[in-house]
Structure 1
């Protein structure tokens, strides 16, 4: 997998700002109405398109996900299996950058559920679930030890 280009400093967790990194890389972000997705990376056009109407948290997560496609040099893929792998990898890598273990550990001490934790970590619940699955077996709250989501 290609490594990300060297930037000044790329912080993780709450300090991670994918929009700033995209700006440093010179990759434009176009906001427009999208029918069935929140965002897309077009390697051909060298830009990211993001749906209008997203919350700041949703847009941060979309940009982090799409930035992973940029760094991996993913292209629009006609192969369904390859596309699914690209999407899963982009989610996983984005969740690792957006949710530092230190931030997660701090929030885990008091947050009663994933909804509250996601809000505090400035990520969507879905990306928090991706990160928790990445760390399964680590004994995080809101999860059973087998890595499955708790009821409720």
Structure 2
């Protein structure tokens, strides 16, 4: 994004950072070993605009795996590559009302949306047609097999390949 008054913008970001930094009510996820080892005190913010302006505050230089932050990136990529009509033949766009990793599909047998695990797995399947998480991935394999059983993947989709890419996307640092 192009920011005209970058100093003012960064002052606003810094103010937000300090206000949000005080909220320590959450817990580190423990179901994936890489996440369980994260220091809950780490918190940072980093912004790079399209014209190269940069701002960092806090623990911005601490590496971490992005896990579910990969979902909007993947979704935007496939929307750009394939278009909304193609994407939404395979993935819904409504809330599921359930957890991100629930074994549930919508009334058409599709993942409810691309921001839950089943939708993100389907996004990867679509993306393929144009690794810390692997040891705890039984639920994601289950979601993929459920969608294959429903016949909702594109033809010739290899579940192992799409899940491997999904795990890599979730492990980006």
Provide TM-score, normalisation by structure 2: 0.26
Select the structure of larger CA radius of gyration: 2
